[in-house]
Amino acid sequence: MQAVLLIDFGSTFTKVTIADLDSEDIVGTARAGTTIKTNIMEGLQAALAQIPEPVGGWNFVRKLACSSAAGGLKMIASGLVKELTAEAARRAALGAGARVLQVFSYELTPDDLELIISSKPDMLLLAGGTDGGNKEILLKNAKMLTLLPQSLPVVIAGNKVVSAQAAEILRTQHHPVVVADNVMPELGVLSVESARLAIRDVFLTHIIRAKGLDSAEEFLERIMMPTPAAVLSAAELLAQGHGSERGMGELMIVDVGGATTDVHSIAKGDPSKPGVMLKGLPEPYAKRTVEGDLGMRYSSEALVEAAGRRLNDYLGWTEAQVVSQLGLCKQDPWRIPQTEEEAKFDVAMGRMAVALSVDRHVGTIEVVYTPFGATYVQHGKDLTPLPVVIGTGGVLLHRPDVLEILQGAVFKPEEPMLLKPQNAAFYLDKEYILAAMGLLREVAPLAALRIMKKHIVEL
Amino acid sequence: MEQKTLVLGVIGSDVHAVGNRILDFAFTQAGFKVINIGVLATQEEFIHAAIETNADVILVSSLYGHGEMDCRGLREKCQETGIGHILMYVGGNLVCGKQDFESVKERFLAMGFDRVYPPGTMPETPIEDLRRDLGMTED
């Protein structure tokens, strides 16, 4: 056996997956509470102890980890125009697996600085101007950021003409300051890969230590990336395949959590029908969105608010029934539904989280009436022909009615402007291995792909 | 000399893509950096593109006769967003019906456009004007 230890230090649980490279299979999975306040290794050992050790002990050939512990990777991004470089910066940060606390556009103000101080980000991403375009914004914002009382890691991904100069200004106060390629080198061209790599690099070299996770690094080889970046990486591998081993093709992953719902799509999303004009900023092929108000536990109240009438209609309940059930959820976030009514509510909440998060992830189509007749304009990704939707996340794993929840992702004829999947097959990541496989991809991509194809099952 | 940047687009609910391509080609050949935002462009798209790319001029086309409605307020929005002094050119079938071009030109100049071109203008004319307005020629 060639055992590989894969660890996900989550905010609540430390999840351990052991994979065997010889049989290309999972040996075991387990989880225990994350112990970041004392020593992160305690939680890891507790989880590891649950998997029966073979005679002669584990001889791990590799030990890799990802982390979203201690709040994950919290970032603030800034750009020039809200819909252009500020949006591009936000997408770069999300793609790097960050929790984006705030996105600023135009010149930073003293109030913005106050917000940066109070929200305590781990890293800043500074963009603005296309290459050769606006120069003032990057320099002015760099100067403004030197007024911050604390030193923060900064990644610059703006107008290349002044990037070095902005870095020089920032280095008088901040460390490290890394220059990446512009997130928008030309107008309407999105180029997030370089910024993503720079963010990941800074995360590895500086933020792991700042969060006290480096004590685990004596035991591990290293913590490789933030957990959401690992999931996105696994999704990419699963879609594209590796060498002659085929992938599943374009797909979407919906991760319903207690606090947020993440949606990843690995798809081009070009218009599926002729005569549709594409407008707006191009979307990344591997796109991730995070909905902070759509979670089944800590964000249950916000979810009920966001769903509004849709929840009541789906359940066929009155407002009062919903409110009383929500009260129970708030009292004890991790309660297991006892009655049929509670179970029904839980399913409805999951379905709303999936439906709303996919609504916000997919592109839209609208009719524009011109003197020459109607024309269709698409913003974002058209995911109507998408063949595969995969569900994951602690909330979904142990449910018998998971299909009912995931079907929230399906296109609705009464909302034709939302380009959601029309005929997708549904799958479940039932052992919760996606993040682990994103890690394994770093050392054994083929094995990671084959394990995923084995353990991600059709519903 | 530094390359000059222009934002080119067809404003409003106008889908005339051919002339847009021809202008893109002609201005690029003439040595300008063309930021082409294409057809169905809103006023905001012109302005956002100009801010982000630090453009020297906004070049508005309109061929479907509703240009007067679509262009109104563009200069004011530029002023509001900090690029009030940017050059603005407009050309095409700007209004409905057979109207006297001089009166049309007056209306668009009053809207804050720097140059207004009638139907049938060849790209050479605005290219020449632009070189003069940007101080790229000797005379």
Question: Which tens digits make up the pLDDT trace of A275-293?
Answer: 888 888 889 999 999 988 8
Q: What is the pLDDT of residue A403?
A: 92
Residue A453 counted as domain residue: yes
Considering only the beta carbons, identify the residue of A80, A85, A368 that sits closest to B13: A368
User: Distance between alpha carbon B62 and the CA centroid of its chain, in Å?
Assistant: 9
Are A42 and A126 found together in one domain?
no
Q: State how many domains chain A has.
A: 3
Half-sphere exposure of A379 (CA within 13 A, CB side): 13
Q: What is the pLDDT of residue B15?
A: 85
Residue A344 counted as domain residue: no
Q: What is the CATH number of the domain that holds A153?
A: 3.40.50.280
Are A91 and A131 found together in one domain?
yes
Contacts with A442 (C-beta within 8 Å, 6 or more apart), sequence order: A64, A224
Does B139 score more than 60 pLDDT? no
| Segment A213-226, tens digit of pLDDT | 777 777 787 778 88
Mean predicted confidence (pLDDT) in A155-165 = 96
Amino acid at A286: A
Does A381 score more than 90 pLDDT? yes
Contact A94, A288 (CB under 8 A): yes
Contact B46, B113 (CB under 8 A): no
Indicate the burial class of A388 (C-beta count within 10 angstroms; 0-12, 13-18, 19 or more). buried
Residue B14 forms contact with A (CB below 8 Å):
yes
Query: Among candidates A394, A384, A458, which has minimal Cα distance to A432?
Result: A394
Q: Is the pTM of this model over 0.90?
A: no
Residue B65 forms contact with A (CB below 8 Å):
yes
Residues in chain B: 139
Mean predicted confidence (pLDDT) in A252-273 = 92
Query: Among candidates A272, A267, A273, which has minimal Cα distance to A253?
Result: A267
Residue B11 forms contact with A (CB below 8 Å):
no
Which tokens sit at A329?
């959820």
- Taking CA–CA distances from B83, the nearest residue in chain A reads A134
Q: What is the pLDDT of residue A217?
A: 75
Residue A187 counted as domain residue: yes
Q: Determine whether the interchain pair B39/A277 forms a contact, defined as Cβ–Cβ distance below 8 Å.
A: yes
The range of the structural domain enclosing residue A367 comes to 236-293+354-458
Our CA-based measurement puts residue A81 at a distance from the nearest CA of chain B, in whole angstroms, of: 6
Does B134 score more than 70 pLDDT? yes
Q: What is the pLDDT of residue B138?
A: 65
Are A63 and A115 found together in one domain?
no
Residues in chain A: 459
Residue A299 counted as domain residue: no
Identify all chain A residues contacting B15, using CB atoms and an 8 Å cutoff.
Answer: 277, 370, 372, 375
Beta bridge partners of B60: B9, B90
Q: What is the CATH number of the domain that holds A64?
A: 3.30.420.300
Domains by residue range for chain B, with CATH: 1-9+20-34+42-56+66-88+104-139 (3.40.50.280)
Identify all chain B residues contacting A369, using CB atoms and an 8 Å cutoff.
Answer: 13
Are A402 and A432 found together in one domain?
yes
Are A260 and A374 found together in one domain?
yes
Considering only the beta carbons, identify the residue of B15, B55, B66 that sits closest to A372: B15
Give chain A's end-to-end CA distance (angstroms, integer).
31
Banded pLDDT at A185 (limits 50, 70, 90): very high
Our CA-based measurement puts residue A129 at a distance from the nearest CA of chain B, in whole angstroms, of: 5
Are A61 and A78 found together in one domain?
no
Are A39 and A117 found together in one domain?
no
Q: Determine whether the interchain pair B15/A375 forms a contact, defined as Cβ–Cβ distance below 8 Å.
A: yes
Residue A225 counted as domain residue: no
Does B123 score more than 90 pLDDT? yes
Identify all chain A residues contacting B66, using CB atoms and an 8 Å cutoff.
Answer: 371
Distance (Å) of CA A111 to CA A126, A144, A148, A241, A312: 17, 11, 12, 47, 40
Are A260 and A377 found together in one domain?
yes
CA angle B105, B111, B112 (to 5 degrees): 95
Domain termination site, one of A159, A190, A220: A220
Are A52 and A94 found together in one domain?
no
Residue A101 counted as domain residue: yes
| Segment A306-361, tens digit of pLDDT | 998 999 999 999 888 898 888 887 777 667 778 888 888 888 999 999 999 999 99
Which of B32, B52, B78 to probe by mutation at the A interface, max A CB count within 10 Å? Answer: B52
Helix or strand or coil: residue A399? coil
Amino acid at A324: S
Residue B86 forms contact with A (CB below 8 Å):
no
Identify all chain B residues contacting A129, using CB atoms and an 8 Å cutoff.
Answer: 52-54
Round the average pLDDT of chain A to a whole number and report it: 90
Q: What is the pLDDT of residue A143?
A: 97
How far is A212 from A197, CA to CA, in rounded Å? 22
Catalytic annotation, residues of B: 14, 16
Taking any CB pair shorter than 8 Å as contact, residues of chain A touching chain B are 80-81, 83-85, 129-130, 132-135, 184, 186-188, 277, 279, 368-372, 375, 377
Residue A305 counted as domain residue: no
Residue A175 counted as domain residue: yes
Domain termination site, one of A182, A205, A228: A205
How far is A281 from A127, CA to CA, in rounded Å? 15
- Taking CA–CA distances from B6, the nearest residue in chain A reads A133
* Beta strands per DSSP E along A297-450: 364-370, 373-379, 388-392, 425-429
Domain termination site, one of A220, A253, A276: A220
Query: How many CB atoms lie under 10 A from the CB of residue B72?
Result: 14
Are A450 and A380 found together in one domain?
yes
Q: Which of A47-51, A77-81, A191-195, A256-260 has the lowest mean pLDDT?
A: A256-260
- Cβ pairs A/B, distance under 8 A: 60
Are A256 and A269 found together in one domain?
yes
Are A89 and A196 found together in one domain?
yes
- Taking CA–CA distances from A280, the nearest residue in chain B reads B45
Our CA-based measurement puts residue B138 at a distance from the nearest CA of chain A, in whole angstroms, of: 25
Our CA-based measurement puts residue B119 at a distance from the nearest CA of chain A, in whole angstroms, of: 19
The one-character DSSP state at B137 is S
